[in-house]
């Protein structure tokens, strides 16, 4: 669900080419939507991929057992408990279930959950969907909460350094991150219009210091100082480029 978005279409292409999956059922939140190839002509010329209106009855009738959600955070937060209650396994590409602590999830501005106890249990049991680190847990997970672009690029780069003892955990880590404009999603905003984004470089959410000292991807390694992460949007369509700085025993910064 959500195949017309940027992340959703990348997922659609992976599923269409995967040797062990049938042709996916592409779902739309709209009652009447054009086929997927009308949004992305690069897949036109062969089979047509209709977008069908989402309903639980349709999923049951088609025998769907895995639901991929490339939907807004708040919609994923609403749909996942019901999907799991109906026996589906879910892979969620939004930020709805990534963060374990309520204080960290506050950035998304979620409304109160319909069933707070169920939501709390899902927050606790959702598997962080980074296969480089959690492949075995993902295999049997009922709910996989995929990481975002900044988190993926930082964790994959930082984890081997942390595990190898190359980071002075008494001094913390600085992650300087830049993402392409597509990371903001397909819905246009003032900052993502061409005139605003072209030849520009601007901060996203400002600089922030991680309120949690234990990163989901560091395998339990804890910094005694917080991670400092600065996030920026660059004037490119898609990429994620990070500089990671660590303080070594000689007390100067070295870039990795």
Residues that are catalytic: 149
CA angle (93, 202, 216) in 5-degree steps:
35
CA dist 242 and 256 (Å) reads 9
The full DSSP string for the chain is: --TTSHHHHHHHHHHHH-TT-PPP-EEESSSS---HHHH-GGG-SSS--PEEEP-HHHHHHTT--EEEE-S-HHHHHHHHHHHHHTT-EEEE-SSSSS-SSHHHHGGG-PPPPSSHHHHHHHHHHPEE--HHHHHHHHHH-SEEE---HHHHHHHHHHHHHHHTT-S-TTT-EEEEEEE-GGGG-SS--TTTSHHHHTT-EEEEEEEEE-S-SB-TTTTT-B-SS-EEEEEEEESSSS-EEEEEEEE-TTS-EEE-
- Please give the C-alpha separations between residue 154 and each of 94, 100, 213, in angstroms, as whole numbers: 18, 18, 15
Closest CA to 92 of 41, 62, 128, 40: 128
């Amino acid at each position: 669900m959500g195949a017309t978005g940027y992340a959703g279409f990348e997922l659609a292409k992976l599923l269409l080419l995967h040797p062990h999956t049938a042709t996916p059922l592409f779902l739309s939140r709209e009652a009447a939507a054009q086929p997927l190839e009308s949004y992305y002509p690069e897949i036109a010329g062969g089979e047509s991929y209709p977008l069908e209106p989402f309903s639980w009855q349709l999923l049951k009738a088609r025998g769907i057992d895995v639901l991929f959600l490339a939907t807004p955070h708040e919609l994923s937060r609403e749909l996942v408990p019901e999907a799991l209650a109906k026996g589906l396994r879910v892979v969620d590409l939004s930020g709805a279930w990534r963060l374990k602590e309520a204080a960290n999830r506050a950035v998304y501005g979620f409304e109160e959950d319909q069933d707070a106890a169920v939501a709390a249990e899902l927050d606790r049991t959702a598997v962080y969907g980074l296969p480089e680190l959690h492949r075995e847990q993902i295999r049997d997970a009922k709910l996989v909460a995929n990481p975002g672009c900044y988190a993926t690029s930082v964790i994959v780069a930082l984890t081997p350094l942390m595990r190898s003892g190359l980071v002075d955990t008494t001094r913390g880590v600085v992650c300087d991150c830049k993402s392409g404009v597509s990371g903001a999603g397909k819905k246009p905003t003032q900052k993502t219009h061409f005139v605003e984004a072209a030849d520009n470089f601007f901060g996203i959410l400002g600089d922030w210091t991680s309120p949690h000292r234990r990163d989901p991807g560091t395998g339990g390694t804890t910094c005694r100082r917080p991670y400092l992460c600065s996030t920026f949007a660059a004037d490119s369509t898609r990429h994620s480029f990070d500089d990671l700085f660590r303080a070594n025993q000689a007390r100067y910064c070295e870039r990795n």
